[in-house]
Amino acid sequence: MSPLSGRKGAPRPGKRLSLWRVAVSVAAAAVVCTLGVAAASTTPAWIASLTSPQTETRWFGAYYDVTLESGERLAANSLAGAGGTPVLSFVVAAASDDCTPGWGVAYDLDAAATDLQLDRRVELLRRNGQEVAVSFGGAINTELALACADTRTLRQAYGDVLDRYGVDIMDIDLEGESLHDTAAAERRAHAVAQLQRERRDDGDELEVWVTLPVSADTGLTDEGTAAIAALLDGGVDLSGVNVMTMDYGTDLGGRSMGEAAIDALTATAPQVADVYAAQKVALPPSGVWSLLGATPMIGRNDIDGEIFTLDDAVMLNEFAQKRSLARLSMWSLNRDRTCGSNYANQSLVSNECSGIEQAGEFFADALSDGYEPAQRIIPSHPAVTVDDPKTSTFPVWASDLYYSAGVTVVWHGGVYVSKWWVQNSIQPDDPTLDQMSSAWMYLGPVLPTDKPYALPLLPPGTYPEWSETEIYDVGDRVLYDGTGYEARWWSQSQRPDVGLFNRDSSPWRVITE
């Protein structure tokens, strides 16, 4: 199960309410009566102070911007390390009137599989027993509930993503228009609740988090609390509310970003408890704090002057452990490093570095202290151990070839990409070499769903057949085994298909247009 298994914040019709929760509810009501206070906020204030040293499982997961990566860089990034439970982001609609889910608007799910090798990377994490979460929405592009016309198509869009990657932690990041559209909020709640019911019918769970903007002084906006209420009212069993402790855009009055984050969480706790009380939904036994998560933007924020430092990360982590927050995240794993010396203007916010000097330290280490990634036995595709050239998704590695940088091959059931020019004697899975020393980077396992590798074929007679004795000049085109090739420079007796692998030295390139 996921890291949040066993915590069901919202008992629904047909679900048993534990004696502990009944006791908590009765005790809360008794306190209100004793104090003689009729204000609705009294009960949440009491509940917000309730903590337990034995709270539900806590987890850390850094957001990971999928759209910034190529397949090679994705493989190199330490998703399985400091990222904890990586929260892959963001899945959005293809357009404002197109319900097709994709990563940003750059890749649909199939394109992400081929261009980024994303399916393969997720499967590798699963085989290592590591959980992965997916975040829907974000600050830009169109959130799916806005683009999908009805609950059925929205449920299908969400389900396609969750099923494809075998995910059971769903994060819904609501910002901008997605916070204001009440019809979309209703569709979203019913679609997600339906997915949760289907998972339970299959003996599994779908953990659902809602991520919302927050003020350092007043906590959630009215739209934020309404979004929580809509999900609860629609039957969603929320695992928690994750607040974005970043980009406040107001005078912090000399507070550090760590102090501002703590103030934002302190303001948010009674608000969340209020919403649960209004919806007649019981809080977890350890109180409202075990429903909360926090996500700072590490380093330089989008708002000038707002800088979240490593000291702020330590401060926020200590507070989170003290209050037993269920979750800590950060935006983003892609940014968790010092900017290079060629990035001259450090005042410009980068998507790929923090904008501050980290001196070899990492925000993920500071924020994840005391929090663990999900570690569980996750069903995965059966391993493929025999390399069959007829069905292989990439050419099978051969000892008699030379490979240029960026060539992808299959070897012993794994997919590898060459990091630099490599001669034929280096096997991709050479056990004597570590990842840094090897010329090959492991992308992930061969999947049963992979399609066989095939070169583009042209009709006979499109170009002359290649001849070993013919002299070819730049621009000449030939056919070899049905595939078209174009000469890049003068050559003779150099077989065109060698250019598939030794791209730097071969005079031939494949004609793909």
SS (H, E, C) 382-416: CCCCCCCCCCCCCCECCCCCCECCCCEEEECCEEE
Return the CATH fold of 381-448: Seminal Fluid Protein  PDC-109 (Domain B) (2.10.10)
* Measured distance CA(181)–CA(133) in Å, rounded: 25
Cβ atoms of residues 477 and 511 within 8 Å: yes
* Measured distance CA(478)–CA(443) in Å, rounded: 33
Return the CATH fold of 455-513: Seminal Fluid Protein  PDC-109 (Domain B) (2.10.10)
- Sign of the CA dihedral running 45, 282, 267, 278: negative
Determine the distance from the C-alpha atom of residue 430 to the mean position of all C-alpha atoms in its chain, rounded to a whole number: 31
Determine the distance from the C-alpha atom of residue 172 to the mean position of all C-alpha atoms in its chain, rounded to a whole number: 12
Rg from Cα positions in the chain = 27
Helices (H), 305-380: 310-323, 363-368
Burial 32-61 (b: 16+ CB within 10 A, else e): beeeeeeeeebbbebbbebeeeebbbbbbb
Cβ atoms of residues 240 and 292 within 8 Å: yes
Residue 423 has pLDDT above 50, yes or no: yes
More confident residue, 173 or 443: 173
Instruction: Tell me the backbone φ, ψ of residue 391, rounded to 5 degrees.
Output: -115, -5
Residue 12 has pLDDT above 50, yes or no: no
More confident residue, 456 or 346: 456
Place of tokens 């996750």: 378
What is the arithmetic mean of pLDDT over 99-104? 98
* pLDDT at 382 (0 to 100): 60
Residue 4 has pLDDT above 60, yes or no: no
Residue 48 has pLDDT above 70, yes or no: no
Query: Residue 293: enclosing H or E segment and its boundaries?
Result: strand 292-296
* Measured distance CA(107)–CA(496) in Å, rounded: 32
Cβ atoms of residues 462 and 437 within 8 Å: no
Cβ atoms of residues 116 and 107 within 8 Å: yes
What is the arithmetic mean of pLDDT over 361-369? 94
Domain boundaries, the chain: 19-51+60-368, 381-448, 455-513
* Measured distance CA(464)–CA(461) in Å, rounded: 6
Cβ atoms of residues 496 and 466 within 8 Å: yes
* Measured distance CA(503)–CA(382) in Å, rounded: 33
pLDDT tens for each residue of 225-251: 999 999 999 999 999 999 999 999 999
Whole-Å CA distances, 211 to 238, 242, 274: 11, 4, 18
* pLDDT at 245 (0 to 100): 98
* pLDDT at 70 (0 to 100): 65
* pLDDT at 33 (0 to 100): 37
What is the arithmetic mean of pLDDT over 443-472? 93
Query: Residue 274: enclosing H or E segment and its boundaries?
Result: helix 257-278
405: left (phi over 0), alpha (psi -120 to 50) or beta: beta
pLDDT tens for each residue of 263-274: 999 999 999 999
381-448 and 455-513: same fold? yes
Query: Residue 271: enclosing H or E segment and its boundaries?
Result: helix 257-278
* Measured distance CA(131)–CA(162) in Å, rounded: 12
Cβ atoms of residues 228 and 241 within 8 Å: yes
* Measured distance CA(410)–CA(5) in Å, rounded: 37
More confident residue, 9 or 449: 449
* Measured distance CA(18)–CA(448) in Å, rounded: 44
What is the arithmetic mean of pLDDT over 481-497? 96
Could you tell me the two tokens for 30? 């008794």
* pLDDT at 153 (0 to 100): 98
> Which amino acid appears at position 120 of this protein?
R
Estimate the crossing angle of helix 182-201 against helix 151-165, to 10 degrees. Answer: 50
* pLDDT at 75 (0 to 100): 53
406: CB partners within 8 A, 6+ apart: 72, 417, 418, 503
381: left (phi over 0), alpha (psi -120 to 50) or beta: beta
* pLDDT at 42 (0 to 100): 36
Superfamily in which the 19-51+60-368 domain is placed by CATH? Glycosidases (3.20.20.80)
Long-range CB pairs of 106-115, under 8 A, 24+ apart, other chains included: 106/67, 107/66, 107/67, 109/160, 109/161, 109/164, 112/66, 115/70, 115/71
> Which amino acid appears at position 139 of this protein?
A
Tell me the range of 3-17, 58-72, 300-314 where mean pLDDT is highest: 300-314
Residue 249 buriedness (CB in 10 A; 0-12 / 13-18 / 19+): middle
What is the arithmetic mean of pLDDT over 299-321? 97
Q: Which of 209, 106, 206, 117 is nearest to 166 (CA)?
A: 206
* pLDDT at 329 (0 to 100): 97
Place of tokens 């970043």: 246
Whole-structure pTM value: 0.81
Helices (H), 291-386: 310-323, 363-368
Could you tell me the two tokens for 118? 């994303």
Tell me the range of 47-51, 62-66, 376-380, 450-454 where mean pLDDT is highest: 62-66
Place of tokens 């957001």: 63
DSSP state of 380: -
Could you tell me the two tokens for 52? 């337990």
Residue 38 has pLDDT above 80, yes or no: no
* pLDDT at 385 (0 to 100): 61
